[in-house]
């Protein structure tokens, strides 16, 4: 059993560099947790504190029932895979996988059992005698995973293990890691700055910014109900659009564009006292429509937009435009008939949109 | 513990075995905290030795029993012995490893490094956490980037933090030796910069080294002056753009904004600071001003 509990964890590197603060998270046994966020937000620092490679400045870290703040890294029963991970070029695959066990003074026969077992799981049995040079990129990455698997740890920590692979291999390894997790059922914490990776792999996502957790939830939760502007903009590609406007009795007014706010949402905004104030509308690109039939039935949430750029992406097209100097993107079914600079009718599906406080950038909720 | 031992043995004790004389004339131990120390051999009674060894462990042989080559390098590097022209030593590059955590298994650490590089290395331990590795000159030596991966591998095997400074590869061994002293000193100051690298080279650490030589007040004065009116968000924008080597599309993608918005922000940056990062001198200035926290 390996629950991980993090209570008010804080990390200061030097007196004025706070890398992580007020970090609270309960990770349940067998979960696949993904830390995601922009560069420098403290993902690696948090992972390294769990590993014990960085000291925890303040707060408590529990693995199982044990407070491990002062437990040496090697006694924490974890295994790590890192981004730039290399294999020992002069050892064959077998020895690469065995080395960590040798360090921990496992017996020869125990090492052999474990390495062979890991090789079987990863489909590396035929390659045990090869040197890393003679492996493909994917095989090497599997050996890297194998080096962690043989340790049979309570917890796997992975820091952007796929970011050095090319796009195709990355997608393939992504699903291999997911399958591996289903098979081994070990608690896993996985760091990435790629939100697609986060969405496809995680049982829960932890979104971080500037060392602070922004939201924790399942991929669906964070996609459908982002807690703030940052999460809304970070999760989803292309990103959610944000348009600042003034709220009237029944409408949101963004300069010359005036859209009707559905009554359910309007009720909340009214109760929270936002009428007459500036608020931020968050709307996903796929919730902006160009189909005549949708526009027909959305007379009070349509606008005429000048399309700056139309990007044909295969099955769909991204339309780049502006309202009152604010950029937005619409994601519509594939069409190749749009010229740059052309005017086009679009309609917002406001039932699917979110409203955020213009100052705190928090989502406005009942 | 080491303080207690010093109290007991006074000037009979040394803590660095940097010269051959000290290796031979002292009996070497390490404390449970991995702190090495030597006590002058002829001054120790058998009783003292027995007593000591209840609390501390003798240092393993590979520190102390040195091959001829190891001894020669040790004398060259730490005792300033002049290399003679008939010396059998080869031109080399010098790698300085520093282990930053306790409880490392030095013998296996050495084995790991042999398996990273090659089996013709010469190892000289300066103390239990500083290892000098002399790597005979190679036409295609392992790059700093490859080292980065290997250091992470070591980290995940040993669960320790370690850093390496990669010296310059020289064709003659006189040059290797002469540059060592300077490299060692510069490495020392890189370490005190507390930046986040695991692999240091003269080139990659130069900007940080440069800043470490500058007065903090002056630096802040200049920065505040140039960034006087700038919005904080713009600093992150420029940092990212520089990190992406001025590749606008990539930077925009990483910042989750449209390329046009990035262009717009950069225009604002130029307006507010007078710096146009498309020119090299301004890019260098912006880079240095954004390097420190
Ligand atoms: N050893 C260190 N000394 C000082 N500051 C550090 C150190 N390591 C990290 N930092 C700082 O702490 C902050 C968080 O860094 P961290 O490496 O955890 O970010 P990250 O989310 O993993 O980013 P990336 O996606 O770029 O890997 C950054 O501002 C970074 O500069
Ligand atoms: Mg990181």
Question: pLDDT digits over A304-326, tens only?
Answer: 999 998 988 888 999 999 988 88
- How close is the Cα of B69 to the center of ligand 1, in Å? 41
Confirm or reject contact between A120 and chain B (CB < 8 A): no
> Is residue B82 domain-shared with residue B199, that is, in the same domain?
yes
Per-residue pLDDT at B36 = 77
Q: CB–CB of B194 and A14 under 8 A?
A: yes
Residue A188, pLDDT > 90, answer yes
**Cβ of A103 and B158 within 8 Å?**
yes
In the block, tokens 């870290």 appear at: A61
User: What is the C-alpha end-to-end distance of chain A, expressed in Å?
Assistant: 38
Which of A10, A13, A35 is the pocket-test mutation for ligand 1 (most atoms within 8 Å of CB)?
A13
Distance A18 CA to ligand 1 centre (A): 10
Give the residue-averaged pLDDT of A150-166.
Answer: 91
The answer to whether A324 and A228 are in contact (CB under 8 A) is no
CB-CB under 8 Å, B156 with A147: yes
Given B161, B196, B211, the domain boundary residue is B211
Sequence-distant (6+) residues with CB within 8 A of A43 are A35, A36, A37, A159, A191, A193, A208
Of A72, A79, A86, which has the smallest distance from its Cβ to B153's Cβ? A86
Is the CB of residue B57 less than 8 Å away from at least one CB of chain A? Answer: no
Domain of residue B156, CATH code: 3.30.70.270
| B165 and B81 belong to one structural domain | yes
Is A327 within 8 Å of B258 when comparing Cβ atoms?
Answer: yes
- Beta-carbon separation of B114 and A90 below 8 A: yes
Instruction: Give the DSSP per-residue string, A95-128.
Output: HHHHHHHHHTT--HHHHHHHHHHHHHHHT-GGGT
B171 in the same domain as B42: no
- Counting ligand 1 atoms within 8 A of each CB, the residue from A19, A56, A83, A197 with the most, and so the one to mutate, is A19
Co-location of B128 and B22 in the same domain = no
Determine the pLDDT at residue A160: 92
Cross-chain Cβ contact B254/A38 below 8 Å: yes
- Residue matched to tokens 């049982």: A203
Max distance between CA atoms of chain A, in angstroms, equals 77
Distance CA A316, CA A238 (A): 12
Can you give the pLDDT at residue B66?
A: 74
State whether B40 and B92 are in the same domain. no
Contact B159 A51 (CB under 8 A): yes
The verdict on B146 and B29 lying in the same domain is no
What's the CATH architecture for A4-228?
Answer: 3-Layer(aba) Sandwich (3.40)
Looking at the structure, do residues B130 and B59 belong to the same domain, yes or no? Answer: no
pLDDT value of residue B86: 66
pLDDT at residue A287 greater than cutoff 70 = yes
**B260/A13 CB distance under 8 A:** no
Backbone angles phi, psi at A72, to 5 degrees: -60, 145
For residue A83, pLDDT over 90 is answered with: no
Which pLDDT does position A1 carry in this prediction?
62
Range in A12-26, A161-175, B54-68 with the lowest mean pLDDT? B54-68
CA-closest candidate to residue B133, choices B103, B154, B164? B164
- Rounded CA gap, B73 and B167, in Å? 15
Q: Which residues of B touch A79 (CB under 8 A)?
A: 156
Domains of chain A: which residue ranges?
A: 4-228, 241-357
Q: Are residues B134 and B261 in the same domain?
A: no
pLDDT at A331 over 90: yes
Rg, chain A, Cα only? 25
* Sign, CA torsion A93/B132/A80/A104: positive
Among protein residues, the one with the nearest Cα to ligand 1's atom 22 is A44
Q: Does B156 touch chain A (CB under 8 A)?
A: yes
Q: A283: buried, middle or exposed (CB in 10 Å: 19+, 13-18, 0-12)?
A: buried
The sign of the dihedral angle between the CA atoms of B79, B82, B88, B92 is positive
Contacts of B251 in chain A (CB under 8 A): none
Are B95 and B179 members of one domain? yes
Q: Does B108 touch chain A (CB under 8 A)?
A: yes
Instruction: Please give, rounded to a whole number of angstroms, the shortest distance from the CA of B141 to a CA of chain A.
Output: 13
pLDDT at residue number A32: 97
Q: In this structure, which residue's CA is closest to atom 4 in ligand 1?
A: A13
User: Are residues B150 and B18 both part of a single domain?
Assistant: no
pLDDT digits (tens, 9 = 90+) for A97-113: 999 999 989 999 999 99
Domain span at residue B261? 214-291
Atom of ligand 1 lying closest to residue A54 CA? 1
Question: In chain B, which residues have their Cβ closer than 8 Å to the Cβ of A74?
Answer: 103, 158-159
Q: Which atom of ligand 1 is nearest to the CA of A83?
A: 27
Amino acid B282: pLDDT: 96
- Report chain B residues whose CB lies below 8 A from the CB of A88: 112, 115-116, 150, 153
The predicted structure's pLDDT at residue B85: 62
- Tens-level pLDDT at each residue, chain B (293 residues): 778 888 888 878 777 765 656 667 788 888 877 677 888 888 888 888 888 888 888 876 666 667 778 887 877 777 777 766 666 677 788 899 999 887 778 888 999 999 988 888 999 888 778 899 989 888 888 888 889 988 999 998 999 889 999 988 777 777 777 787 788 788 877 777 666 678 988 888 888 888 888 898 999 999 999 998 888 889 989 999 999 999 998 898 888 777 888 999 999 999 999 999 999 999 999 999 998 76
CB contact B240 to A (< 8 Å) = yes
Task: Using a pLDDT cut of 90, give the percent of chain A over it.
Answer: 78
Residue A7 has phi, psi (to 5 degrees) of -115, 115
* Reported ipTM exceeds the 0.85 cut: no
Residue A366: band (very low, low, confident or very high) from pLDDT cuts 50, 70, 90: confident
pLDDT per residue over A34-69, tens digit each? 999 988 899 999 999 999 999 999 999 999 989 999
- Chain A contact present for B192, CB below 8 A: no
Q: Does B115 touch chain A (CB under 8 A)?
A: yes
Q: Which two tokens stand for residue B122?
A: 């010469």
What digits encode the pLDDT tens for the residues A130-142?
Answer: 999 999 988 998 9
Cα gap A156→B289, rounded to integer Å: 38
Number of domains in chain B: 3
- From B211, B240, B271, the end of a domain falls on B211
| Cα torsion A332, A334, A340, A341: sign | negative
Locus of tokens 């095997």? B157
8 Å CB contact of B148 and A51: no
Say which residue, B176 or A170, is predicted with more confidence: A170
B61 vs A: CB within 8 A? no
What is the whole-number distance in angstroms between the Cα of residue A327 and the centre of ligand 2? Answer: 30
Same structural domain for residues B123 and B10?
no
Q: Give yes or no for A17 touching B (CB within 8 A).
A: yes
Nearest ligand for residue A41 CA: 1
Assign domain A241-357 to its CATH architecture.
Beta Barrel (2.40)
Residues in chain A: 366
Instruction: Give residue A51's pLDDT.
Output: 94
Q: Are residues B117 and B186 in the same domain?
A: yes
Higher per-residue confidence, B56 vs A7: A7
Lining ligand 1 with CB less than 6 A are A 13, 17, 19, 37, 39-45, 193; B 194, 196
């Amino acid at each position: 059993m390996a629950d991980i509990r993090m209570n008010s964890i804080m990390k200061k590197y030097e007196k004025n560099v706070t890398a992580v603060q007020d970090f609270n998270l309960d990770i349940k046994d067998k979960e696949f947790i993904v830390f995601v966020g922009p560069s420098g937000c403290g993902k690696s620092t948090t992972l390294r504190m769990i590993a014990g490679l960085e000291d925890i400045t303040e707060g408590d870290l529990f693995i199982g029932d044990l407070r491990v703040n002062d437990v040496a890294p090697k006694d924490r029963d974890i295994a790590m895979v890192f981004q730039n991970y290399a294999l020992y070029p002069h050892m064959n695959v077998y020895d690469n996988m065995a080395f960590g066990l040798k360090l921990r003074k496992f017996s020869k026969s125990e090492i052999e059992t474990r390495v062979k077992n890991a090789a079987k799981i990863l489909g590396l049995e035929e390659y045990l005698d090869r040197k890393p040079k003679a492996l493909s990129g994917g095989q090497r990455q599997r050996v890297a995973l194998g080096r962690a698997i043989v340790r049979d740890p309570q917890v796997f920590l992975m820091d952007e293990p796929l970011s050095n692979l090319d796009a195709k291999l990355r997608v393939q390894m992504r699903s291999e890691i997911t399958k591996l997790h289903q098979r081994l059922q070990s608690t896993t914490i996985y760091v990435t700055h790629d939100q697609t990776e986060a969405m496809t792999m995680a049982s829960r996502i932890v979104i971080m910014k500037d060392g602070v957790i922004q939201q924790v939830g399942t991929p669906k939760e964070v996609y459908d109900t982002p807690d703030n502007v940052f999460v809304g903009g970070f999760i989803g590609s292309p990103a959610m659009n944000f348009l600042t406007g003034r709220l009237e009795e029944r409408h949101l007014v963004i300069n010359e564009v005036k859209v009707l706010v559905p009554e359910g949402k309007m009720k909340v905004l009214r109760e929270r006292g936002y009428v007459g104030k500036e608020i931020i509308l968050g709307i996903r690109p796929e919730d902006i429509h160009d189909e005549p039939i949708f526009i027909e039935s959305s007379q009070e949430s349509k606008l005429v937009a000048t399309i700056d750029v139309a990007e044909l992406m295969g099955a769909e097209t991204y339309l780049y435009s502006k309202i009152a100097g604010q950029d937005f993107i619409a994601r519509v079914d594939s069409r190749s008939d749009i010229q740059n600079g052309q005017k086009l009718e679009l309609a917002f599906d406001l039932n699917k949109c979110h409203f955020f406080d213009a100052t705190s950038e928090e989502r406005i909720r009942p | 513990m080491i303080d207690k031992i010093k109290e007991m043995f006074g000037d009979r004790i040394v803590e660095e075995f940097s010269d051959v004389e000290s290796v031979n004339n002292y009996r070497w131990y390490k404390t449970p905290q991995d702190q090495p120390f030597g006590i002058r051999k002829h001054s120790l009674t058998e009783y003292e030795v027995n007593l000591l060894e209840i609390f501390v462990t003798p240092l393993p042989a590979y520190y102390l029993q040195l091959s001829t080559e190891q001894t020669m390098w040790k004398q060259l590097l730490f005792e300033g012995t002049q290399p003679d022209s008939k010396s059998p030593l080869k031109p080399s590059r010098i790698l300085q490893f520093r282990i930053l955590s306790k409880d490392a298994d030095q013998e296996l650490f050495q084995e790991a490094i042999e398996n990273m590089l090659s089996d013709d290395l010469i190892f000289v331990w300066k103390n239990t956490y500083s290892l000098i590795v002399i790597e005979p000159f190679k036409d295609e030596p392992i790059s700093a980037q490859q080292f980065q991966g290997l250091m992470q591998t070591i980290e995940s095997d040993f669960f320790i933090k370690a850093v390496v400074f990669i010296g310059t590869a020289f064709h003659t061994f006189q040059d290797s030796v002469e540059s060592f002293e300077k490299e060692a000193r510069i490495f020392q100051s890189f370490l005190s910069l507390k930046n986040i690298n695991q692999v240091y080279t003269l080139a990659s650490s130069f900007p940080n080294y440069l800043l470490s030589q500058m007065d903090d007040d002056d630096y802040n004065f200049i920065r505040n002056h140039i960034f006087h009116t700038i919005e904080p968000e713009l600093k992150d924008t420029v940092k990212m753009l520089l990190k992406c080597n001025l590749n606008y599309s990539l930077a925009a993608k990483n910042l989750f904004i449209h390329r046009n918005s990035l262009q717009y922000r950069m225009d604002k940056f130029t307006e507010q600071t007078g710096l146009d990062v498309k020119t090299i001198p301004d890019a260098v200035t912006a880079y240095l001003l954004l390097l420190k926290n």
